[in-house]
Amino acid sequence: MTVTASNTGAARWAAVRPWLGVAARLGLAAVWLIAGGAKVGDLAASGRAVNAYQVMPYDVATVIGAALPFVELALGALLLFGLATRLAAGISATLLVVFVAGIASAWSRGLAIDCGCFGSGGQLAAGQAPSYLPEILRDLGFLALAGFLLIWPRTPVSVDGWLAGPPVEDDDE
């Protein structure tokens, strides 16, 4: 059997991919745990942050804002343990697309708000400039992590991996 560059590249990818998946899973878990943990202590502020986007009635925004930290914490826990990874990655991707759209909407409408992603958020003080582009780019990076896990959800050191047993030779999950 002749070893070619494509064979060694494929073998290298097969060896590295599961560990990249672990890094993506744990990185995204940390994001959700930090974001949810920062908001869970003040659910009213989280509701005000959602309301600052001015895309839904106040009562709806406050309910979504109060529920969001618990959703984020649940996603973080699922990803931390590697349980239902593809589902958690799919929900993560959906939320991140909604967050990017919300930030872009606020930016395009000239609102001066803090996204509230890792804290209370809401209206910025007079003269304080929003940082929409870095927030969008950050969320797109998180979206890339979720996308990786949607394609390759099975990772070492995870409940999903333990339940599935040893990987098969040609695992294109």
Q: Where are the domains of the chain?
A: 11-164
What whole-number distance in Å separates Cα of residue 87 and Cα of residue 170?
Answer: 22
Q: Which residue has the higher pLDDT, 64 or 157?
A: 64
What whole-number distance in Å separates Cα of residue 26 and Cα of residue 145?
Answer: 10
pTM score of the predicted model: 0.87
Answer yes or no: is pLDDT of 137 > 70: yes
Residue 84, C-beta contacts closer than 8 angstroms, at least 6 positions apart: 78, 160
Answer yes or no: is pLDDT of 27 > 50: yes
Q: What's the confidence (pLDDT) of residue 4?
A: 63
Distance of CA 103 to the CA centre of its chain: 15
Q: Which neighbouring-strand residues pair with 48?
A: none
Q: Which residue has the higher pLDDT, 163 or 156?
A: 156
pLDDT band at 173 (very low <50, low <70, confident <90, very high): very low
Q: What's the confidence (pLDDT) of residue 42?
A: 94
Q: What's the confidence (pLDDT) of residue 169?
A: 53
**Overall size of the chain counted in residues:** 173
